[in-house]
Structure 1
Amino acid sequence: MFHIDHDDVDDLALGSYVVGTGGGGDASLAKIMLHEAIDQNGPVRVVDAADLDPEGLLLPIAVIGAGVGFAEKLLNGAEAERALTLLERHLDRRGVAILPMEVGGVNTLFPLVVAARLGLPCVDADSMRRAFPRLEMTVFTLAGIPASPCILVDAKGNTVLAETVDNTAAESFARSTVVAMGMFGVMSAYAVTAKQCLEYGIQHSLSYALELGRHVSAIQRGEPDAYDQLLRFADAQILFTGKVADIERRVSGGWTKGTVTLEHLGDPKRTMRVDIQNENLIAFEDGEAIITTPDLITFLDVETGIPMTTESLAYGQRLHVIGMPAHDLWRTPAGIELSGPRTFGYDIDYVPFGGNA
């Protein structure tokens, strides 16, 4: 067990952007909310699933929608409690802890806000250890655990509960609902017990993001060897260092889609294109895929060390393109089938990322 206090918030946000792989939304508002929640309720207790009653119900929570929705709309503060109260009523059970559905972007910090407000611990685990654009892309789906009941709440108090035949249908219903909600909502899905989380979830995702953020913070302070230490910790590589030459972004079907093209700083003949669907999906250098989903692609500003979200990309930025291997569960045949490039309509196979090997 450990606690998240004020001194951890900035580092956790930095790490959340790294594993957010360009998506997951701007965590600025979640940072403010978390500081406020800590002021009012004290540091947030983070526990291992193994420390809880194995049959205890975990209460999953996340925000859902296109990143532009996070930037343009505000939460009213009651959405999560409304969603989780409905979940408990529907299941006729009380929850023992909050579970992050996705450690990536705003969904890294938001569950901690909810935990503080409800007086519950937050579990150091999730179902992705990165951000993914689709609800069915979780390790719980790989384990055959249903997403439903799936509950969505918007800032006006509109509430939808969906019971679906499978997790792909849950994504379809949730995505169409969040579009009707103005591209942004709060969601609970994949209600699991502590035992199921321990057996099928990805453990220590919050502490992993926090440690990533501490390494990024060291880069921003200009500490010697900070980049090397980050790359070693994450088994990552700098794949490309270039200047943003072109950006194409649009909101379609509940996602932010587009491409960003970079020209290499040392060799202008080299170019890289990164395709986006909320998150960075595939990086092509000179037309050849060099890293693909489910492995992670993230941008760090060369001058400032700031991890960049899709919405914060701008012409002329000088960026490191960093590749990181996904959690081992995503690199299995079943994980690749669920989240690899062919799932997103690309006629290419998964390109295994080698990390430091």
Structure 2
Amino acid sequence: MFIDDAAVLADLASGAAFLGSGGGGDPYYSLLLAEAALARCGRFELVSLADVADDALLAPCGWIGAPTVSVEKLPNGKEAVSGLRRLEEIMGKPIDAVLPIEIGGGNGLAPFIAAAELGIPVIDCDGMGRAFPESQMAIFNIRGISACPSVLTAADGSLSVIETGDNLTHERIARALAVSLGGIAHMVEYPLTGAEAKAHAVPGSVSAAIAVGRAVREARAGGADPFAALGKALEATGLYPHCLTLFDGKIVDLERETRGGFSVGTVTIDGFADSGRMEIEFQNENLVATRDGKVLAMVPDIITVMDRDTADTITTEKLKYGQRVKVIAAAAPDILRDDHALSFVGPRAFGMGYDFAPVEALNETETA
């Protein structure tokens, strides 16, 4: 599949923003860079995971740091290419294709910019099926693949190669480097073969994001309900089988700070028609949503705050007092919901004192 239409990139940005569960970075700047790359290079190639050679060298990549910083600290546009070129030197062979380390937010678009410059395809898959705040939460770590060698680059031209014995240490080193470089940096990590990607990556997530974004856009253009279209599109992907509206209200309080390379805080939403109060805790991504103290959704399921009139996703760094919003939840891919995966990405991995319960079990399932 070739992408030669800027409208498809916009759909990808919209869908990836939703799948980011509030994180992954606002896709606006990534979309601008991708549109510029499209104008320069003509088209992008998106390849099905099933069509990748088993011995191909694939490079997941994306940004690490606090999304609040990315709003003000712009990239120079060369970070990804310089990181990928150094990885090729380390591996002693050319990279055959790239993929998003996470499909969420701006990171869903990041590989396209690098792929255009290198003349290689993007693989229709990712390493998380959504966005998570920490590198070791990738499915590749969950399945035992090393993040190293990895290459971290920044807007000032800095380049660091990371080699560690375990992926948690890798995350801590990379996070500290990103903080020291201004709060955000680009990282190429988890180099893997085509065979390993076929065994472990989340397949079809890029095309799923495009389909979700397209459904919302077409519904708005046709005067239909974009939230209903969103739910149908998510179900049709096969990756996100449940979607429902958790809450409808206005943001009345927001506590947010940048700490340790993350954007952390709580947003409070008062419901319309005396429907109670919702609180959402976030660490880059939205982690848990409660209404009047009752948990309605939790990580790894997707919790996304959206403008109630336009159905535009509001990422955590864009949350503001007075916004009128709907909170939409979607089931995470099954690959993230088994007991082993939950030990890395479930609520207890974030210090919460309870076990994971699926969003469809916590609520009466209905289409958003």
TM-score bin (small chain): over 0.9
**What CA distance in whole angstroms lies between the structure 1 residues aligned with 2:104 and 2:334?**
17
Matched with 2:271 is 264
Matched with 2:249 is 242
The alpha-carbon deviation at position 219 of structure 1 amounts to: 4.2
Distance 1:326 1:4, change over 3 A: farther
Gap runs ≥5 in structure 2: 235-241
Matched with 2:166 is 166
Among 281, 297, 322, the residue aligned to 1:291: 297
Letter aligned with residue 303 of structure 1:
D
RMSD: 1.4
Matched with 1:318 is 324
**What CA distance in whole angstroms lies between the structure 2 residues aligned with 1:128 and 1:139?**
6
Q: How does 1:275-290 map to 2 (within 5 A)?
A: 275-290=281-296
**What CA distance in whole angstroms lies between the structure 1 residues aligned with 2:310 and 2:49?**
36
**What CA distance in whole angstroms lies between the structure 2 residues aligned with 1:115 and 1:282?**
35
How many equivalent pairs are there?
356
Describe the SS at the equivalent of 1:303.
Answer: coil
Matched with 1:301 is 307
Letter aligned with residue 109 of structure 2:
L
Q: How does 1:175-214 map to 2 (within 5 A)?
A: 175-214=175-214
Describe the SS at the equivalent of 1:54.
Answer: coil
The alpha-carbon deviation at position 10 of structure 1 amounts to: 1.4
The alpha-carbon deviation at position 39 of structure 1 amounts to: 0.7
The alpha-carbon deviation at position 218 of structure 1 amounts to: 3.0
**What CA distance in whole angstroms lies between the structure 2 residues aligned with 1:142 and 1:312?**
30
Contact 1:259-1:276 within 8 A present in 2 as well: yes
Letter aligned with residue 270 of structure 2:
E
Contact 2:227-2:311 within 8 A present in 1 as well: no
Gap runs ≥5 in structure 1: none
Describe the SS at the equivalent of 2:248.
Answer: strand
Distance 1:155 1:299, change over 3 A: same
Matched with 1:93 is 93
Describe the SS at the equivalent of 1:319.
Answer: strand
Describe the SS at the equivalent of 2:54.
Answer: coil
**What CA distance in whole angstroms lies between the structure 1 residues aligned with 2:223 and 2:204?**
26
Distance 1:58 1:40, change over 3 A: same
Letter aligned with residue 97 of structure 1:
A
The alpha-carbon deviation at position 180 of structure 1 amounts to: 0.5
Matched with 1:343 is 349
The alpha-carbon deviation at position 225 of structure 1 amounts to: 4.2
Describe the SS at the equivalent of 1:209.
Answer: helix
Q: Could you give the per-residue CA deviations for residues 211-231 of structure 1, whole angstroms, max 9, x where no partner exists?
A: 111122134335324422321
Q: Could you give the per-residue CA deviations for residues 273-300 of structure 1, whole angstroms, max 9, x where no partner exists?
A: 0001000000011112111000000011
Describe the SS at the equivalent of 2:71.
Answer: helix
Q: How does 1:106-145 map to 2 (within 5 A)?
A: 106-145=106-145
Matched with 2:237 is none
Q: Could you give the per-residue CA deviations for residues 39-63 of structure 1, whole angstroms, max 9, x where no partner exists?
A: 1101100001222221010122111
Matched with 2:75 is 75
